[in-house]
Amino acid sequence: MQSEASYTEAEASQATTRIYMDDRSWVDADFDRALQRANQWHRWSASVGLKESREKIQACAKPQRIHDQLPMAQPDWSIPDQVKVLGVSVRPKMCANTELETDRLKAALKRAQLLSCLPVPYHRKLEIYKMFVIPKALYGWIIRFSTKADSNKVFNSLSKMTGSNYVANPLIRSTIYGGACHMQVLLATRLFKRLCRMRSRGTAIWTNIPGTPAKALRSWLKDLGWQEQTQWTWKRDDITLHAPLHTEVTAQCHHIRMSWRETLLRKWAGGKRHEAQEWRRLTSPLQMRAEIRNLDLEAARKSFMKSDAPARAINLGSTVSPAWMGRKHADGDPRCPWCNQLGNFLHIAWHCSQIPKAKD
Ligand SMILES: [Zn+2]
């Protein structure tokens, strides 16, 4: 270990320093230089009479070998497994949610629960959810994504908040209106935008080192089937995604969202829902893939945003047929109310010859 005296003041200043009001953080790839920079600050602040809460100083390092040196180098500092910077958990190694992150997610869910009491229409509630619940849940995830289970829990709190469409499949709900309010895709597009900004400033590094923003985004996109072409360029089917330096960031984020929606829909199509099973029975996997790609999800999304409660139920598949009711409930009548045949969804929606004509 080098002694900190081996650095001049100018050299020590190379440690990345961030000052936010009365909070300061130092980050450096060089252990001794980071310590020296922090100590320089404390010497200066003592010399000008600033009152510092030295017991609040936290430090952590990676790898573990260096972290273990910290208590010897700075015995009066607190050396936890993760430090808290501006309400964000920074950890030197992979670990499950910290208490801070768990508490924040709980607080977001609590907000949704409280806001569910508001007597406002559906679309207004959606806006309120985006305004108050989502920012709370999104805060603090910088290069790490919340787990899919946690993200889904926050997303499902919206259904509880609006008190509607409980039987709609979560994958369909996410596909139709999750693009603007599901943590998984919001975290990805935020990270993508941040990397574009970093590229403009020349600070983005194309790497696969765990714990870096590039690695986090690359892994997330890989899961959706994006293949890397060159640095900062991906391809998926016939769509090219690139992290631009200045413009087109919004258009590129649209590609990310669409690929996320398509992936969810494919997952749904392979699932146990009877509509999905029916679809599989009627078509080949290849045809199904093509049909999913040809779906106008943008039109579905726009129509959903303008729809009333019954239209939303149809849009999300949040309905049950008489056939389903007859199977689930002993006193349910499985027959079509118009022709007495088995009233499954396909029959009611498409095949019944006796269905009354819609009034103008
Ligand atoms: Zn019928």
Separation of CA 350 and ligand 1 centre (Å) = 9
CA of 339 to the centre of ligand 1 (A): 4
Decide if 317 contacts 275 (C-beta within 8 A).
Answer: yes
pLDDT tens figures, 76-132: 888 888 888 888 888 877 778 888 999 999 999 999 999 999 999 999 999 999 999
**% of the chain exceeding 90 in pLDDT:** 50
- Nearest to 27, CA basis, from 142, 186, 194, 146: 142
Q: Among the ranges 12-21, 212-221, 245-254, 269-278, which has the highest mean pLDDT value?
A: 212-221
Q: pLDDT tens across 310-346, in order?
A: 999 988 988 888 998 888 888 889 999 999 999 988 8
Type of residue numbered 274: H
Distance 265 CA to ligand 1 centre (A): 29
* Range with the poorest average pLDDT among 45-59, 197-211, 335-349: 45-59
Q: Tell how strand 16-20 and strand 23-27 pair up.
A: antiparallel
Distance 135 CA to ligand 1 centre (A): 47
- Encode pLDDT of 34-49 as tens digits: 888 888 888 888 898 8
Distance 358 CA to ligand 1 centre (A): 15
Half-sphere exposure for 7 (CA within 13 Å, toward CB): 22
Place of tokens 């609040």: 56
Distance from residue 345's CA to the centre of ligand 1 (Å): 10
3-state percent helix, strand, coil for the chain, nearest multiple of 5 = 55, 10, 35
Under the banding of pLDDT at 50, 70 and 90, the label for residue 1 is very low
Which H or E run includes 250?
A: helix 249-269
Which tokens belong to 271? 């699932």
Structure tokens at 337: 């109310």
pLDDT in tens, 239-261: 999 998 777 899 999 999 999 99
For the chain, state the CA radius of gyration. Answer: 27
